[in-house]
Amino acid sequence: MEIRVEAERENKLFERKELSLSATYEGKTPTRAEVAEATCKKLGLSPDTFQVVRIDQGYGEREARIIAYSYSSADSMKRFAKREKAKGKSQGAAEKKADKAEEKGAEAAEGKKHDSKAEEAKKE
């Protein structure tokens, strides 16, 4: 993967450098981690204070446009960086649904036990 810096801007308010990059690659679109690793290695930046914000690619192209931020310190990154989403947009929602389904299943099972006891009492 070849990475080129297209533009670099200093943002003093958020204590970071905003980088506009382009990457040429073979195969699939590189992940944020791959882009971060290659950029930090090329520019001599710390991976602890570097964040890839966006990777844009046209259909069938082998070049991507990348927006990334390099923070001045880990503290400023902690304060200003957007949190990355979990893998899969609705992973958290899926986990919540699974928990609710388990709760409903447990409640339904308990309800059946209570119903069967009520039926036994009616038979007697």
- 57 vs 110, higher pLDDT: 57
- Residue 29 is predicted with a pLDDT of 87
Provide CB contacts within 8 A for 73, sequence distance 6+. 15, 49
Tell me if the pTM is above 0.85. Answer: no
Residue with tokens 């069967």: 116
d(CA 32, CA 51): 8
- Residue 58 is predicted with a pLDDT of 86
Output the six-digit token pair for 22.
């382009």
Collapsing DSSP to helix, strand or coil, 72 comes out as coil
Band (114; pLDDT cuts 50, 70, 90): low
